[in-house]
C-alpha cells in the first residue's frame, strides 16, 4: 500500500507531500489542473523511464519519493532480501532522482538500485508469467489496451481459476523441454565434426602418454641426459678422487693415518696432544666415506650410448610438448587429464543422446498431462468467470453487453500450456461474439475492466490500484454503481482513483483536490486533502460546475450520506462479491 508520496521540482509541481489511506482515495480537480502530471510521477515509482525535460524550470533535479507499507506482502519483502536490500520495518521507500546531464538514479530503502530491479518489485502490470503479484497496478482510460491483450486474458483467467501454480510447473517443464531439444540438436549437428575432433584428441592423448611422464620429469630427464653425456669426465674425476684420497702410500688417508699413529706414541709426553689431534680422526672417517661413495658413484656411472640416445630423444619430445601444453611436466599431465575427459564425453555422446531422448519423451508425457489438466480447469472456470463478470456488468447498467471467454485447444505447446484464451463480447443475443477491441467502446472497456477487477481481485495479496478516470463515458445511476464497485475493490486493499464524477467521488475514504495556480507567470500544481466541508463543496462543483449552488450543495451532502450508508451495509468481513467467491470455489471444486 502506498502510504506517502512526495514530489518536488517535477513539471509544474514545486513541492507536494500526500498521505494516502487504505481504501478508496479519490483525486479530483479542474481539467488541466495537472492530474496527469501526478500520475506520471507515480509512474516513475513503478519503473517508468525518466526524462530530464520534466524537471521544473530553474531546478537542478526532480525528486519523486514513495513510502510503501509491505507488511501484508511477504513476497515483496522476500524479493527485497534476495536483492540484498534491508526491509526490517515493513516499509519500502522508493526514491527517483532525475537530474540534468546525468542518468536518473533509483534508490530502494536507501540502496542504489536499477530500473529493472524497481520494476521487478513495483510493477505497473500483472506479470505475464503469473508468478508475481504486482505491488501497484495502473489502469487508465488510455491503458485499457492491456485488457485487449490475449496474454492478459490468460493471466486473469488463471488467477480466477487458481491455476497459476500449475501453470508455473508447466512453464518449468516447457523450458527444460526446450533446452533438451536444443542439446539433442547440437549433438546431432556435431556428429561429423566430433569424429574428426575425437581423432585429434586421441592423437594428443597418445602423444603425451608415450612419454610416460611423472611430475618433475622436466628436471630429472635433463639432469640424467647431461650426466650420461659427460660420463667419461665424471668417471675420470671419480678415479682421480679415489687415488688422491686412498690410492697409494702418499695418499691423504695414508698421511693422516701416519700422523694419528705418531701422535699416539707421543701421548705420554703431553696429554693435550690427543685433544689437538682428535679432529684428524674425524677427518679420516669423513674422507673414508667420500672414498666409498665415489667408488660406488664410479661403478654406477658407466658410459651407455644407447641409454643416452633414449634420454636425448625423450628430452627432445618433452621440449615439443612443453611448447604445446606448458613449461612443466605437471602442466602437460593436466592437459592430458583434460584431453581424456573430453574424449570420454565424446565417446559417451551416443549414451548422452539416448539419455536426452528418453528425458524428452518423459517431459512431453508430463507436459501433455499438465496441459490437459490446465486446459480443462480453464475451460471450466471460463464459463463461471463470464457469468460472474456479466452479473457485474448488469449492475453497471450494461444491458445487452455480454462477456464470453473463448477457450481453444492449441495444436502445439506454448510456455503457458496448450490453451488459447480470448475475451469476446456480444452486444445482443443475435450478435456473433467479437474480440473486445473490435466491439467495445472506451467506456464499455472501462466498466468491463472494473467488473473483472471486482471478480479477480478477491483473495489476492493486497496492492494499490491506480484508476485514471476509469469512469469515463458513464453517468447517473451507472456512475453511482461504479463508485460502489471501486469502494468494494478497495476493501482490504488500496485504490487511488482520478475521477470527474461526483457519484464516484462521494464513495472515497479520502478525497484529494488538485489545483493549478499561476504565480509570476509560472504554473504551480497543488494537492490538498479535503476536510468534510471542503469535500461537500468539491462534490457540488463536480455536479454543477464552477458555479456552486445551494441545490448542488444539498445534492452533494445527499450523495455523501448515501455513500456512507451503503458502506455500512457492506460488512468488511463479507465484502461485496464474497458470495460470488464462495459460489465460484464450490463450482471449481466439482
Q: What are the structural domain ranges in the chain?
A: 1-127+462-590, 217-327
**Cα–Cα distance list, 451 to 136, 356, 577 (Å):** 18, 48, 11
The C-alpha angle with vertex 61 and arms to 56 and 65, in degrees rounded to 5, equals: 95
* pTM score over 0.95: no
Q: How many CA atoms lie within 13 A of 380 on its CB side?
A: 16
What are the start-end ranges of the E strands in 330-468? 402-414, 417-426, 434-435, 464-468
Cell numbers placing 108: 530502494
Q: How many CA atoms lie within 13 A of 192 on its CB side?
A: 1
**Cα–Cα distance list, 273 to 113, 262, 268, 277, 285 (Å):** 91, 11, 9, 6, 19
The pairing of beta strand 2-10 with beta strand 61-69: antiparallel
The C-alpha angle with vertex 143 and arms to 158 and 485, in degrees rounded to 5, equals: 65
How far is CA 69 from its chain centroid?
Answer: 23
The tens place of each residue's pLDDT in the chain, 590 residues long, gives 889 999 999 988 888 999 999 999 999 988 777 777 888 888 888 888 888 888 888 888 999 999 998 888 888 888 888 888 887 778 899 999 999 888 889 999 989 998 888 888 876 332 222 334 556 665 554 445 567 778 888 988 998 999 989 999 999 999 999 999 999 888 887 766 777 788 888 888 888 888 887 887 777 777 777 766 666 677 778 777 877 888 777 788 888 888 888 878 887 788 788 788 888 888 888 888 888 888 777 766 666 666 666 767 777 787 888 888 888 888 888 888 888 888 887 777 778 888 899 999 999 999 999 999 999 999 999 999 999 999 988 888 787 888 999 999 999 999 999 999 999 988 877 788 888 767 666 667 777 878 888 888 655 677 788 877 677 667 778 888 888 888 888 887 888 888 889 999 999 999 999 988 877 777 788 889 999 999 999 999 999 887 888 999 999 999 999 888 877 666 444 344 444 444 455 445 54
pLDDT of residue 138: 59
Residues 160 and 446: their CA atoms lie apart, in Å, by 19
Burial class (CB in 10 A: 0-12, 13-18, 19+), 296: exposed
Helix (H) or strand (E) holding 259: helix 252-265
Beta bridge partners of 27: 498, 512
3-class SS at 63? Answer: strand
| Residue of 1, 43, 20, 133 whose CA lies nearest to 456 | 133
3-class SS at 304? Answer: coil
Largest separation between any pair of C-alpha atoms in the chain: 150
The pairing of beta strand 417-426 with beta strand 402-414: antiparallel
Q: What is the dihedral of CA 153, 156, 161, 163, to 10 degrees?
A: 90
pLDDT of residue 127: 29
CB distance 208 to 335 below 8 Å: yes
Residues 164 and 495: their CA atoms lie apart, in Å, by 24
3-class SS at 430? Answer: coil
How far is CA 303 from its chain centroid?
Answer: 71
CATH number for the region 1-127+462-590 comes to 3.40.50.300
What are the start-end ranges of the E strands in 383-529? 402-414, 417-426, 434-435, 464-468, 494-498, 510-519, 522-529
Cell numbers placing 474: 458513464
Q: Phi first, then psi: what are they for 511, rounded to 5°?
A: -130, 125
CB distance 509 to 420 below 8 Å: no
Residues 407 and 379: their CA atoms lie apart, in Å, by 6
Amino acid at each position: 500500500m502506498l502510504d506517502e508520496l512526495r514530489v518536488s521540482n517535477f513539471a509544474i509541481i514545486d513541492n507536494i507531500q500526500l498521505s494516502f489511506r487504505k481504501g478508496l482515495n479519490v483525486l479530483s480537480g479542474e481539467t488541466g489542473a495537472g492530474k496527469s502530471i501526478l500520475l506520471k510521477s507515480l509512474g516513475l515509482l513503478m519503473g517508468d523511464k525518466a526524462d530530464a525535460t520534466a524537471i521544473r524550470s530553474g531546478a537542478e533535479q526532480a525528486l519523486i519519493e514513495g513510502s510503501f507499507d509491505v507488511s501484508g506482502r511477504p513476497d515483496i519483502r522476500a524479493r527485497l532480501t534476495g536483492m540484498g536490500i534491508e526491509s526490517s520495518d515493513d516499509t519500502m521507500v522508493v526514491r527517483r532522482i532525475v537530474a540534468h546531464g546525468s542518468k536518473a538514479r533509483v534508490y530502494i530503502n536507501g540502496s542504489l538500485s536499477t530500473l529493472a530491479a524497481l520494476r521487478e518489485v513495483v510493477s505497473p502490470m500483472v506479470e505475464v508469467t503469473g508468478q508475481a503479484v504486482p505491488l501497484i497496478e495502473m489502469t487508465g482510460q488510455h491503458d485499457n489496451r492491456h485488457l485487449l491483450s490475449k496474454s492478459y486474458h490468460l493471466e486473469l483467467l488463471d488467477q480466477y481459476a487458481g491455476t497459476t501454480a500449475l501453470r508455473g510447473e508447466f512453464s518449468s517443464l516447457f523450458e527444460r523441454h526446450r533446452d533438451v531439444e536444443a542439446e539433442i540438436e547440437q549433438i546431432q549437428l556435431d556428429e561429423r565434426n566430433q569424429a574428426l575432433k575425437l581423432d585429434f584428441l586421441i592423437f594428443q592423448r597418445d602423444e603425451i602418454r608415450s612419454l610416460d611422464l611423472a611430475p618433475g620429469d622436466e628436471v630429472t630427464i635433463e639432469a640424467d641426459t647431461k650426466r650420461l653425456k659427460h660420463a667419461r669426465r665424471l668417471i675420470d674425476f671419480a678415479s682421480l678422487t679415489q687415488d688422491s684420497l686412498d690410492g697409494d702410500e702418499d695418499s691423504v688417508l695414508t698421511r693422516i693415518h701416519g700422523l694419528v699413529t705418531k701422535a699416539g706414541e707421543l701421548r705420554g709426553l703431553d696429554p693435550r696432544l690427543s685433544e689437538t689431534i682428535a679432529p684428524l680422526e674425524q677427518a679420516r672417517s669423513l674422507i673414508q666415506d667420500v672414498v666409498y661413495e665415489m667408488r660406488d658413484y664410479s661403478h654406477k656411472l658407466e658410459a651407455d650410448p644407447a641409454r643416452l640416445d633414449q634420454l636425448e630423444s625423450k628430452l627432445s619430445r618433452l621440449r615439443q610438448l612443453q611448447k604445446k601444453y606448458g613449461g612443466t611436466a605437471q602442466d602437460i599431465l593436466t592437459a592430458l587429464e583434460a584431453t581424456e575427459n573430453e574424449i570420454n564425453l565424446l565417446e559417451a555422446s551416443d549414451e548422452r543422446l539416448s539419455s536426452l531422448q528418453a528425458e524428452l519423451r518423459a517431459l512431453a508425457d508430463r507436459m501433455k498431462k499438465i496441459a490437459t489438466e490446465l486446459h480443462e480447469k480453464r475451460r471450466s472456470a471460463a464459463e463461471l468467470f463470464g457469468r460472474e463478470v456479466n452479473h457485474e456488468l448488469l449492475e453497471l447498467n450494461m444491458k445487452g453487453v455480454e462477456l464470453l471467454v473463448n477457450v481453444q485447444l492449441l495444436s502445439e505447446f506454448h510456455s503457458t500450456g496448450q490453451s488459447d484464451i480470448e475475451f469476446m463480447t456480444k452486444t445482443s443475443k443475435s450478435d456473433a461474439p467479437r474480440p473486445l477491441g473490435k466491439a467495445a467502446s472506451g467506456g464499455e472497456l472501462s466498466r468491463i475492466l472494473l467488473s473483472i477487477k471486482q471478480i479477480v481481485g478477491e483473495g489476492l495479496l493486497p496492492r494499490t490500484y491506480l484508476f485514471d478516470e476509469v469512469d469515463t463515458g458513464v453517468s447517473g445511476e451507472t456512475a453511482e454503481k461504479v463508485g460502489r464497485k471501486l469502494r468494494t475493490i478497495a476493501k482490504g486493499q488500496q485504490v487511488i482513483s482520478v475521477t470527474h464524477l461526483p457519484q464516484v467521488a462521494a464513495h472515497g475514504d479520502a478525497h484529494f483536490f488538485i489545483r493549478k495556480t499561476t504565480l509570476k507567470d509560472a504554473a504551480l500544481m497543488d494537492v490538498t486533502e479535503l476536510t468534510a466541508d471542503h469535500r461537500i463543496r468539491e462534490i457540488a462543483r463536480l455536479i454543477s460546475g464552477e458555479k456552486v449552488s445551494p441545490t448542488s450543495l444539498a445534492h452533494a451532502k445527499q450523495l455523501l450520506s448515501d455513500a456512507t450508508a451503503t458502506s455500512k451495509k457492506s460488512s468488511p468481513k463479507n465484502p461485496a462479491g464474497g458470495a460470488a467467491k464462495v459460489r465460484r470455489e464450490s463450482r471449481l471444486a466439482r
